[in-house]
């Protein structure tokens, strides 16, 4: 009897299934003899159209993948598969929507540090993020306590101000020069086109100066998932670092009118990769997500297969 696998579908796959004219794709995943999985990251991305997505997840009998070590802030390589119950999960997830909004405000700092929104000054970004974080946390505390302790959020404002002011004083110009130079070398002529996923990581590390390369290898030695006790976010952080070093093409990520949404989406790709690392397969229509996941899994030492869907064809690693 064939082993029943756990297939983690990228959000773009669920979106594609919902598109008119994709009845065949929906039928394929409905009849596949394996378990389809979704996570908290999906709930965040799907919340704008939650009714349709909840019905789809329910129709597909999708299971919810959860990190059993989350309560101790530890990454656990074996996922806990819970019943899907998408309607209930969306309802509960919405209660914490302000927390996710605050997190996205924090990401605006990272985006600027990595070369995005260069038309803005860090001080202006800090002022905007400071206001968004305070507003989101106030809304969260008010809804969680029925307004009883709403005034308590003001006690946290000085600490929030301190953090945002420290970040606003950072000099980003030198960092931008380093990032631009490194990404240009990493991507010019598409040198990684025919490389094995593991070779891509080694190539990116080889472009760093010896001290930087040694520090990264100490932090993330080859096969680190098998040799280290990981914390929540370590795998996502590693994947996003590879993106920052130029593993995938960044065109359109840091520029344009929708740059902030694209940057947040890229960070969520890294979070999806961490969640998918506990499953048998990660399936996507996104070339960049496919390359990033393949390299992350290969270097970290995960056996998770990565499958790129393209029409009726697919490519896997």
Q: How confident is the model at residue 151 (pLDDT cuts 50, 70, 90)?
A: low
Q: How confident is the model at residue 90 (pLDDT cuts 50, 70, 90)?
A: very high
Task: State the distance between the two ends of the chain, measured CA to CA, in whole angstroms.
Answer: 24
- Asked whether residue 76 carries a pLDDT value surpassing 90, the answer given is no
Measure Cα distances from 247 to 183, 187, 292, 293, 304 in Å. Answer: 8, 8, 7, 11, 19
Q: Report the C-alpha gap between 162 and 151 in whole angstroms.
A: 20
Q: Report the C-alpha gap between 275 and 81 in whole angstroms.
A: 12
Q: How confident is the model at residue 161 (pLDDT cuts 50, 70, 90)?
A: confident
- Return the pLDDT at 253: 45
Share of the chain above pLDDT 90, in %: 38
- Return the pLDDT at 66: 84
- Asked whether residue 63 carries a pLDDT value surpassing 80, the answer given is yes
Q: Which residue has the higher pLDDT, 293 or 167?
A: 293
- Asked whether residue 258 carries a pLDDT value surpassing 60, the answer given is no
pTM exceeds 0.85 for this model = no
- Asked whether residue 249 carries a pLDDT value surpassing 80, the answer given is no
Q: Report the C-alpha gap between 68 and 60 in whole angstroms.
A: 24
Q: What are 183-219's pLDDT values in tens digits?
A: 677 767 778 888 999 999 999 999 888 898 898 899 9
Q: How confident is the model at residue 12 (pLDDT cuts 50, 70, 90)?
A: very high
Share of the chain above pLDDT 70, in %: 75
Domain ranges of the chain: 1-95+189-317, 97-168
User: For the residues 293-309, what does the mean pLDDT come to?
Assistant: 96
- Return the pLDDT at 24: 92
The mean-pLDDT minimum among 136-145, 166-175, 286-295 falls in 136-145
Q: Which residues contact 77 (CB under 8 A, 6 or more apart)?
A: 225, 277, 278, 302
Contact of 251 with 103, CB cutoff 8 Å: no
Query: Got the DSSP string for 87-130?
Result: HHHHHHHHTTHHHHHHHHHHHHHHHHHTT--TTS-HHHHHHHHH
- Asked whether residue 293 carries a pLDDT value surpassing 70, the answer given is yes
Q: What are 40-61's pLDDT values in tens digits?
A: 999 989 988 999 999 999 999 9
Long-range contacts of 256-264 (CB under 8 A, 24+ apart): 259/111, 259/116, 259/117, 260/108, 260/111, 260/116, 260/117, 263/107, 263/111, 263/116, 264/104, 264/107
Q: Report the C-alpha gap between 147 and 141 in whole angstroms.
A: 7
User: For the residues 155-160, what does the mean pLDDT come to?
Assistant: 74
- Return the pLDDT at 84: 92
- Return the pLDDT at 252: 42
Q: Report the C-alpha gap between 181 and 120 in whole angstroms.
A: 21
Q: State the residue for tokens 């030695």.
A: 221
Q: Which residue has the higher pLDDT, 312 or 28?
A: 28
- Return the pLDDT at 157: 74
- Return the pLDDT at 101: 72
The side-by-side arrangement of strands in the sheet containing 6-9 is 80-82, 63-66, 35-38, 6-9, 281-284, 305-310, 313-316
Q: How confident is the model at residue 103 (pLDDT cuts 50, 70, 90)?
A: low
Q: Which residue has the higher pLDDT, 200 or 232?
A: 200
Q: What are 114-148's pLDDT values in tens digits?
A: 666 677 777 777 777 777 777 777 766 666 555 55
């Amino acid at each position: 009897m064939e082993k029943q696998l756990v297939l983690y579908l990228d959000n773009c796959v669920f979106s594609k299934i919902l598109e008119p004219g994709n009845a065949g794709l929906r039928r394929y995943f409905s009849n596949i003899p394996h378990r389809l999985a979704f996570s908290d990251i999906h709930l965040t991305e799907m919340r704008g159209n939650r009714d349709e997505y909840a019905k789809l997840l329910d129709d597909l009998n999708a299971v919810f993948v959860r990190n059993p070590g989350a309560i101790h802030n530890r990454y656990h390589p074996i996922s806990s598969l819970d019943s899907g119950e998408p309607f209930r999960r969306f309802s509960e997830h919405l209660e914490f929507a302000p927390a996710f909004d605050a997190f996205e405000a924090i990401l605006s700092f990272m985006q600027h540090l990595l070369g995005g929104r260069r038309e803005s000054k860090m001080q202006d970004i800090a002022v905007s993020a400071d206001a968004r974080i305070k507003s989101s946390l106030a809304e969260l505390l008010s809804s969680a306590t029925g307004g009883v302790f709403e005034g308590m959020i003001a006690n946290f404002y000085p600490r929030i101000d301190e953090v945002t002011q420290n970040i606003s004083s950072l000099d980003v110009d030198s960092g931008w020069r380093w990032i631009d130079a490194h990404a240009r070398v990493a991507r010019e002529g598409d040198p990684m086109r025919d490389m094995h996923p593991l070779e891509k990581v080694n190539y990116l590390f080889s472009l760093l100066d010896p001290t930087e390369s040694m520090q990264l290898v100490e932090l993330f030695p080859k096969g680190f998932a098998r040799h280290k006790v990981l914390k929540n976010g370590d795998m996502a952080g590693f994947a996003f670092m590879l993106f920052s070093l130029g593993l995938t093409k960044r065109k359109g990520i840091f520029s344009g009118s929708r740059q902030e949404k694209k940057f947040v989406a890229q960070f969520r790709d890294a979070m999806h990769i961490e969640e998918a690392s506990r499953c048998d397969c990660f399936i996507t229509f996104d070339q960049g997500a496919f390359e990033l996941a393949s390299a992350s899994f290969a270097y970290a030492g995960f056996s998770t297969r990565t499958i790129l869907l393209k029409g009726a064809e697919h490519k896997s690693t």
